[in-house]
Amino acid sequence: MQALRLVAGKTAKKRIESEGLTPSLIRMVVGASGGPKWLVLRGLDDFVLGQWLPQATQKIDLVGSSIGAWRMTIASHPEPRRMLNEFERAYFTFRKEDGSTPKAVSLASYRILEEVLGQTEREAILSNSNRNLNIVAVRCEGPTASESRFVEGAGLLAAASANAISRAALGRFFRRAVFYSGDTVACSPLWQDFARIDVKLRQSSVHDALMASGSIPFAVDPVVDIEGAPPGVYRDGGVIDYHFDVPWSYADGIVLYPHFYSHLTPGWFDKLRKNRRAGADVLDEQLILAPSDEFVAALPGGRIPDRKNFTELEDNERWAYWRTVIDESYRMAEEFAELLDKPDKLMSSLKLRRNDE
């Protein structure tokens, strides 16, 4: 059974065929929203982000929302493999009672951030000139910024209804906020479909930016008035950029996307709308590394982890399930490493993304 699926855009495939898939070809790495789904990529992250990519000497943009932002922050550290191990350890300290209220989730999450990303680690990330970290959140507008859960809920319902008509209508309720560590936001001119707030990351704002990026409405408290950013209520970047629908483009190189799926869903409200999936034009320079359908079917329950694990499973059950998924995920890393050593096999394994998928 093949564990790993590789999906490439047309230009990405040509550049891989011409130059070979090496760390020097990577210009950007993207991380999607998805909560515990990241665990199915744990082995792949260990190899790709922790061992393979650190061999690159060029500047690389790292872009992520929600848990993807947490992963990309760790990948921005000069010692990403060690940090990945620390993050995994801390992630397994989250207990069922930590999810009892939005406030409890926030407190537990800040505790994990402090354990993993102390001041020394944050300074190391922000001073890493070869990595431009981009943490994506949204600033809430109008009723979605209300302190009243009833008004906020009504605003979210209105946003979902507006999104069903036009994705662009989300801009009436949310504004992108990108917290970046480099000279500018990655591929800055290409984020054209929504208004954007650009905020230079500070050591003292990293935790709040990461919390905002993953603050799911009604599940986690919002983050208010982040240092260095315009005043306001900040929430989950996945609302607009769940998997990202941005046509990243570079004069050379490719965009690497270790992902839970072989397709990209633009925003949080689009999860059930297959007609909103990112097309071949958006994916042109991207290489997606994803678990195969057969691999997922062989996991316990035939599915990858998700947020329901926190409420549906007791801690010991959840930890055992997650550990099994992590152990299995290293098979994808092994397959990818093998393909890197066999260029012909790599090229025959690449599936070209079509517009009808």
Write the single-letter amino acid at 62: L
| Distance (Å, whole) CA 184 – CA 179 | 10
- The alpha carbon of 301 is separated from its chain's Cα centroid by a whole number of angstroms, namely 24
- The alpha carbon of 260 is separated from its chain's Cα centroid by a whole number of angstroms, namely 10
Beta carbons of 334 and 289 less than 8 angstroms apart: no
Q: How many residues does the chain have?
A: 357
Q: What number of other Cβ atoms are within 10 A of residue 310's Cβ? A: 19
Beta carbons of 266 and 285 less than 8 angstroms apart: no
Structure tokens at 120: 């020394």
Is 0.75 topped by the overall pTM?
A: yes
Beta carbons of 3 and 295 less than 8 angstroms apart: yes
What is the reported pLDDT for 356? 44
What is the reported pLDDT for 192? 85
- Of 258, 264, 214, 268, nearest to 244 by C-alpha is 264
What is the reported pLDDT for 88? 98
CA angle 232, 235, 238 (to 5 degrees): 140
Q: What are the residue ranges in the chain where pLDDT is below 50?
A: 356
CA angle 200, 102, 95 (to 5 degrees): 105
Structure tokens at 109: 């999450």
What is the reported pLDDT for 354? 61
